[in-house]
Amino acid sequence: MEIFGKQLKALREERKMSQSELAEVLCTSKQNISRWEKGYFEPSQEATLMLARFFDVTIDYLFGVEE
């Protein structure tokens, strides 16, 4: 889960987005984005798919399976 959080944060920062802005895009809370980035919680399958589509990366990339 640690890798996912790092990947998510890096992708978000590359787009110069705040956690609040990303949360708005995903219809979730800023707290959820923070928890995902810190590895406290894992996003749902639906949220994971939305993240992959939004950032135009694979789910494997998000979880560090591929670079």
- What per-residue confidence (pLDDT) applies to 24? 97
**How far is residue 14's CA from residue 28's CA, in Å, rounded to a whole number?**
20
* 3-state DSSP assignment of residue 11: helix
Instruction: Quickly state the pLDDT bin for 66 (edges 50, 70, 90).
Output: confident
The pLDDT tens digits of the residues spanning 9-55 come to 999 999 999 999 999 999 999 999 999 999 999 999 999 999 999 99
Share of the chain above pLDDT 70, in %: 97
Name the pLDDT band for 1 (thresholds 50, 70, 90): low
For helices 2-14 and 45-55, angle between their N-to-C axes, nearest 10 degrees: 40
